[in-house]
A and B are shown apart, each in its own frame.
Chain A
Amino acid sequence: MSEAVINRKKDRRKEILKRYGLAIGFVSPFVLVFIIFTVIPLIMGFVISLCKYNPYDLESTTFIGFSNYLMLFGNNVLARTFWQALGKTLIFDVVAVPCLIIIPLGLAYLINMKPPGYKIFRAIIYLPSVISITIVGVLFGAIFSDSELGLINAWFSSENPIPFLSDPVLRWTVILLASIWWQTGTNFIILSAALRNVPKSLYEACEMDGGSRLELFIHVTLPNIKGSLGIVLFNTLIGYLNLYGQPTVLNSAINRNNIESPMMLIQQWLNSFERSSLTGLISATAIFFGLIVMLFTFIERYLMKDRKGGSKYEIQYKAYEA
């Protein structure tokens, strides 16, 4: 090959390198971090779950297949605690998730009437969403405290202070109230934006068709915020299946060490040095729980999907024409 050709090849290679070099340069930090902190852990997690593993004693690693997973269905401490915690969380979620959608929706509806000062109202409702759960815990712990110094108990100064945080049902109620106060803001903002984006002409058309206020809401408002409702439902569902912060910070001496949700289980067991030989088991539990969460999300996505119509009317119309 002549020198000119070789030079051209070199130049082209340089150019390609230059072209792609920048792209690679841009993407690589992300991909690097992603691989180290997301991909590798994922693979590792799966592998660990199939072994008996102790991070502090790596030589003792042995492969034991799926027996870790089977433990979850056996009669042992782990299984019982896990399923109990899952049950408690699910029951709570059945109450909490609808609250966290309907209340923000109602507030969004109110704020869209744009009363004077609505911007301030908006900021106030959203404010709790940016503070951490521990502060929420401090606050609600003090207000709903068991002792007679707690605000609520002090107001209704009766003989026996109400054990807000000790009694199981009351405690979950306090957790519910705290959750609502804490997280209504985010959903509220998203839903209020969605409400504003409903085309006004649709409301007018429905009015002209004879729709009452309720019918306007059902036929115009709801269908047109379906997308945002789906997102809100998705986020809230995931957040509350992974319930962790609220039960951790809202407790009293009696139930401080109770495990109320699967995430708490995983967290606590991981934390304890005595259980470090059970790391394989914990990993299996985490993966199993993760799969349950994924199942829920897939169901939710499927339910919220747009349906395509069939062709029943077309057929009937043809019959009518005949």
Chain B
Amino acid sequence: MEINFNEQLNEYNEFDEKRIKNSFVSIQDLEKIYPNGVKAVYDFNLDIKHNEFIVIVGPSGCGKTTTLRMIAGLEDISSGGVFVDEELINYKPSKDRKMAMVFQSYALYPQMNVFDNIAFPLKINKFPKVKIDEILKYNNEILELFKNSEISKIIQVLQEIQNKKALKLSQNEHLMMRLKISEGASNVLLEMNIKDFNNFNNEVEAFKNKLSNEILNEKKYLENNNLKVNEQYEFIENGEKVIVYDKLTKNEIKQKVFEAAKILDLGPYLDRLPKELSGGQMQRVALGRAIVKNVPIFLMDEPLSNLDAKLRLSMRSEIVKLHNKIKATTIYVTHDQTEAMTMADRIVVMSKGFIQQIGSPEEVYNHPKNLFVAKFIGSPSINVIEAEYDNGNIFATNEINFKLNEKFISEHNEFYDNKIKIFEEKLENFNTESIEFIRKILSCVINETNVMNFPTKKHKHFKRIRNLINRNKSVEVGIEEKIEANRLLESLKDARNNAHKVYLGIRPENVKVEKFNQNKEYNNAIIVKPTVCELLGADYLIHFDYEGNDFVLKTDPKCDIKTSDLIVINFSYEDMLIFDSITGDIIYE
């Protein structure tokens, strides 16, 4: 279908040119709305550099797979744009997007063996090749061969290929390998039908003459038709090499597949059908199929979810090794935060269709932007305690309280002032943006009672057809959001000036523990008995109950604590993260 170029140009104007120019893949304001009105992805913005390994991570239903599929071209983009190498690819079919995708179910063709599976994209596509004059190039190559090599060797090789059945490779491949010539040249050489090996020299002369004649004729032909070639016999037009699109030859395909098989160690399995392979092997075949396309972008949709735990670990490192070797830009989707932390250059955390945070693993772990990210990243998850903030004093329990300095108090006030300002702005001008803003706030709130269920209308047939034609009916329910926005604003105003609730977060490894010693003096320390002690080999996890909450701490296994022992807990306040209870955003670290 013809794309309306004017429309396309118009859309360009809405996008940020600088971002497009400065990154390899630029995803701007990407959104997805389904025909029944449900919005799956809101306002997705991400700029990816060359060779980056990006992991999009989040719980089920957060929109990560939908985003990936929009980038790949398997889902339609509702609004926004995806740019690859400064080109808008929204309307391009999947195969033209320079991307390869690895599916969760591997999606191997069950009727083809491994070789054919990997070779498939090469077989059905045409690839750009420089147009060369075959006669000139290959005839000359053979003439060179005769000039420079020992005749006896050539005779020997030609005799070898007479017995087709005993050969391991095809005749072409045999010649290519033994005489170190190209495929085209070996085709020419095969034209020489030797009737009598004893009369070799004469036949060679006759053949050489034939080749020379062909060369002369070809040169005349080129002259007559005004075609030019350079020293490598490539056609030149207007000073540039001529490129044609043509299918690859069998040998070229074989070469590429073998290369990929070598990298992935699939040699022994090339003849097997997918049903004869294990999960890990199938995964590698899927990777092979992606590698062989020679594209700069790899997309992976939860490729490790179907593997067992141990295999997952080994494949994880294999994928990273592969990425380093091939240097392709990779976008990887998973729900496993361990995979994200170990593999990514940058992590994109998503929830309920919104991006919560983008950052390196270190950033996302140590400086989470909100409570959702803090809880999602990190295993075991962060401990969260409710506390009360009153003008710089934080009070959770008798044992957990501290006072914060002036700097923090002013930061705190600034935080709330900002928030209040933003909310007031949004409420003044209550439109679609505001509605989505509220939804975003709610997307990361842990308190389930706060989460609204945005009603999706069940459209019967008629309406479904109507919806197909004018989509974007997603934002009909604005009233509930408005009420919610007002309620939040009130809470914020209240929080700004009065005592209010905050959440304290502390990572398990930052909780200090020691065995209870009767003779020691403990000031304001928590003394409990552990509920569960888990030995993970190098780490030791101790669970304990405190004030009705379940806490986890991570410590050295050498500490020799059992569930019968009493332990003393110390929270180091410097490592605590303080979160606002209304919006979930972080206030202080």
Contacts and interface: CB of A to CB of B under 8 A. Distances in A.
Say if the two chains contact directly (CB < 8 Å): yes
Nearest to A318: B267
Interface string A287-305: 0000000000000000000
A215 B169 contact: no
B94 A315 contact: no
Contact of B113 (A205, A224, A309, A319): A309
Contacts of B268: 314
Interface stretch (B103-111, B353-361, B365-373, B445-453): B103-111
A285 to B, nearest CB: 42
Contact of B262 (A220, A226, A314, A321): A321
B38 interface: no
Interface in B192-226: none
Nearest to A311: B271
B385 interface: no
B361 to A, nearest CB: 29
A211 to B, nearest CB: 6
B106 to A, nearest CB: 8
B54 interface: no
Nearest to A312: B271
Contacts of A273: none
B74 A317 contact: no
Contacts of A205: 101, 103, 107, 289
A223 B111 contact: yes
Interface string B90-102: 0001110001110
Interface string A112-154: 0000100000000000000000000000000000000000000
Contacts, number: 95
A207 B109 contact: no
B57 to A, nearest CB: 21
Q: Which of B268, B270, B465 has the most chain A CB within a 10 Å cutoff?
A: B270
Given A201-B103, A223-B109, A309-B113, A210 B121 contact: yes
A25 B254 CA distance: 63
Interface residues of A, number: 33
A313 B100 contact: no
Nearest to B289: A209
A226 B111 contact: yes
Contacts of B101: 204-205, 208
Contacts of A206: 109
B164 interface: no
A309 B112 CA distance: 9
A308 B95 CA distance: 31
Contacts of A310: 271
B18 interface: no
B168 interface: yes
Interface residues of B, number: 42
Contacts of A199: 105, 107
A109 B129 CA distance: 38
A313 B115 contact: yes
Contacts of B262: 321
Interface string B255-267: 1001001100001
Q: Which of A219, A226, A320 has the most chain B CB within a 10 Å cutoff?
A: A320
B549 interface: no
B109 A202 contact: yes
Interface string A257-268: 000000000000
Interface in A221-236: 223-224, 226
B120 interface: yes
A317 B261 contact: yes
A315 to B, nearest CB: 6
B109 A215 contact: no
A319 B174 CA distance: 10
B397 interface: no
Given A116-B461, A204-B107, A320 B258 contact: yes
Contacts of B105: 199, 201
A12 B79 CA distance: 78
B95 A210 contact: yes
Contacts of B114: 313
Nearest to B275: A306
A228 to B, nearest CB: 14
Contacts of B120: 209, 219
Given A315-B168, A318-B267, A321-B262, A208 B94 contact: yes
Given A204-B74, A210-B125, 6 more contacts: A116-B465, A208-B94, A209-B95, A308-B273, A312-B271, A313-B271
Interface of A: 116, 199, 201-202, 204-212, 215, 219-220, 223-224, 226, 308-321
7 contacts: A116-B465, A209-B293, A212-B124, A223-B109, A309-B272, A316-B258, A317-B267
